[in-house]
Structures are given as C-alpha cells and as structure tokens.
Amino acid sequence: MKRRLSLPFLAASLLLLSVLNSAHAQTFYASNSSRSDYYVYFTWSEGYNACWTWPWSEYHIKLSSSSAGDICAYTYPATASTTITWPAYTGSDYYYALGPGQSSSFYAWWLHHGWSCNYGSNATINGSTSNIYAPGALTATMDGYDNQVLLKWGASSTHVPSGSYQYRIYRDGVLIATVGSGVLSHPDYAAVPGVTYRYEVEAYAPAWNNSSTRQAANGRAFNLNVSTESLEDGGGVRISWDSEHSDSMNYQRFTIERKDGNKPPEYLNSINSPTATSWTDAYTTAQPWPGYTYTYIVTPDNAAGTSYRPDSAQGANTSNGSISGYIRAPVGGGGVQSVLITVTRLDTVAQGGSRWTFTDTTDANGY
C-alpha cells in the first residue's frame, strides 16, 4: 500500500465496474464526486481464492497500465486454508488526491495465486471529485460603519489542503480581493457610503482553476445624508441628517459648520444629543445672507472623542430683496402700460446671485 490515511467516511454514491474471472468474482470501485472535493477513494467487494495450497491475493491500482509504481497496493496474507475469503472493503484508507472538479480513469489489476495456481484479471475504473466546497454563510454590515463594509464568512469544509485554495470576494460581480484560506473576513474600505452593494465570496483552488458556488449578502456603509431646506422669507437654512441605524458607532454629538466659497469652514454649533437630526441656521442681520449659497458640513463624534466621516450639502437662504418702480407719461403723469423694463446687475456677488438680469412689463397703472 502506497498511501494510508484515516479520513472521515462520507456517504456516497459509487461508480461501479464489475469484472468476472471464471467463478472467482471481484468488483472494484472508485468514488465519484458526491464523496469528496479532493480525494478519490478505492473500495472492493468480497472475493475468494480457491488455490489448493498456501494461497494469497493481492491487488494494485495505477493511473494507467504503463505507470510506474502503485497508487495503492493491498495483499491478503497466505494461510493454510485451501479457500481464502477476501473480505469486502468500504473504508477510506485507500485513496488518490485528484484535486477539486476533476475526473480520471484508474487501472486496477489483481492476482490470486498459490503453489499450484495463478489467476487474476484487470479493469479500468473511473473516479471523480466535486468542485471545491463553498464557504459558510456570508454576512455584510449594513450601516454598521461609516467608512467600510465588513464582510465575514464561515470556513469551507473542503478536503483541499489549506495552502492550495483561497477565498475570492466580489462586489456587484467584480472581483475586489483574494485572501488566504485562513482568512474569514475582509473590510471593503472602497464602498461609497449610502450605496447598497451585493457581495459574494467563493472558495478557489488556483492549481485546478476550480471555484465553488458563491455565498452572497448585501452591505452598505452608513451615510449621514445631509440635506438643506430654504426657509420662507429669508428666514434661514434648515440642515437635516439621518440618525444612526445600528448604534455601533455611538454618535453622541454633531458639529455644524458653514463654508463660504473657498474660505475656511466657520463653526456654527455643536449639538450634544445622539438623537438630533436637524438644526436651523437662522438669518439675523449677518449671515446666512438671503440669496447666497453656502456649504453646510455636519461631523458626528462619540463620547470618546472619535470623529467620524463628515457629510455636507449646499444650502441657500431664500432671497428677500425686491425691485419696484413705475412708468408715467410726461404729460399728465398717467401710468404707461405694456412697457418692458430690464434691470441688469453689474457687480459680481459672491456665493449666489446667479440671476444677472431682471425683466418685467408694466401694468395699466404703469407699475
């Protein structure tokens, strides 16, 4: 015997080829893909040796009849009996490491012999292995982090040696990472916050270019989703954001800043409430100036002082200016109707004022 190794016995359907030699029947088997994703196991049925004196039996399995050396060899010892029963074998000690997703034929030959007889035969038996076994269930964090999606999966139950397979990770069908067989998690720092992705993981054996079925899960990095609303009559800008969904980051405070063009951000307020989801930048005699557009930045942090990823949105206070006047006739002072009036702004106004020309037509009273 060339290889002996105790492995867990797996229930399996077996590929069968029966070969007869006179009255001395012998059947050999090689396991099919339902039993292992790496090994082909060899078993046999009961037979007997009817040589008259000191009989013994042996068999050999090779890759082909011309192959040097045996994959497996077995000898049933001689005894003084005239008839030797060769017991059936259904264990897992006799095998060949074929690799995942493979099939092969094997050459088996056996011989029953003693002092006064010598008989035997040979046969070709076929064996196969399944694709490499899939990893365990995949999980992906949903809004658990603001800078990543963390993936975790269970180990594959494969029989492939640990140094001969890997795990491959996909995001929306695109391969993003390959990790070793001992790695069971992966952070996706390239995930865009607020975007839901479909993640998949598979086991892969590069030497055989063989991969398993994939485990899948959806995941998303948390996004504050900052938005703004212009209040009526130039009353200011309301800034809103989403509450934390998982509490894993433990948001405790939100800092709001206002950025005017290319100027550095201006601190406005800090809200010490984990449940806060809005704040209003109310108009006073200063800013936010009506009609101007600003960038509002919201940054959360936790009780330990860890700042998380900020989010921002543009917001503008509602314009509250007006242009008024009238057209009168030079004689009598009556209003002149249907006169097109055009007013053009000559100066550039920072952060807003996108409307440069105003037009209107006078009514029956000249207004």
Local confidence pLDDT in tens for the 367 residues of the chain: 333 322 222 222 222 222 223 334 567 888 888 999 999 999 888 877 777 677 778 888 999 888 888 888 878 766 656 566 777 888 888 899 999 999 999 998 888 877 777 778 888 999 999 999 999 999 999 999 999 999 999 999 999 999 999 999 999 999 999 999 999 999 999 999 999 999 999 999 999 999 999 999 999 999 999 999 988 777 889 999 998 877 678 899 999 999 988 889 999 999 999 999 999 998 876 667 777 788 999 999 987 888 899 999 998 877 666 667 777 777 766 777 787 877 776 766 655 555 556 677 877 776 6
pTM: 0.74
Closest CA to 120 of 16, 24, 46: 24
Closest CA to 353 of 316, 301, 324, 323: 316
Q: What is the DSSP letter of 147?
A: S
* CB neighbour burial string for 298-317, b if at least 16 within 10 angstroms, e if fewer: bbbbeeeeeebebbbbebbb
Closest CA to 31 of 119, 113, 94: 94
Residues 6 or more apart from 35 whose CB is under 8 A from it? Answer: 10, 11, 12, 13, 14, 41
Three-state SS for 107? strand
Q: 């074998």: which residue's tokens?
A: 89
pLDDT at position 238, please?
A: 94
Q: Sign of dihedral through CA atoms 261, 263, 265, 267?
A: negative
What tokens does 254 get? Answer: 């939100």
Q: 């008024």: which residue's tokens?
A: 324
Distance, in Å, from the CA atom of 364 to the CA atom of 367, rounded to the nearest integer, reads: 7
Closest CA to 178 of 163, 168, 170, 190: 168
pLDDT at position 103, please?
A: 96
CB-based burial label for 295 (10 Å; 0-12, 13-18, 19+) = middle
What tokens does 142 get? Answer: 């949903």
pLDDT at position 355, please?
A: 55
Q: What is the location of CATH 2.60.40.10 in the chain?
A: 14-128, 138-220, 227-316
Residue count of the chain: 367
pLDDT at position 91, please?
A: 82
- Please tell me the number of Cα atoms within 13 Å of 27 on its side-chain side: 11
CATH fold of 227-316 reads: Immunoglobulin-like (2.60.40)
Report, at the CATH architecture level, how domain 14-128 is classified.
Answer: Sandwich (2.60)
Report, at the CATH architecture level, how domain 138-220 is classified.
Answer: Sandwich (2.60)
pLDDT at position 247, please?
A: 67
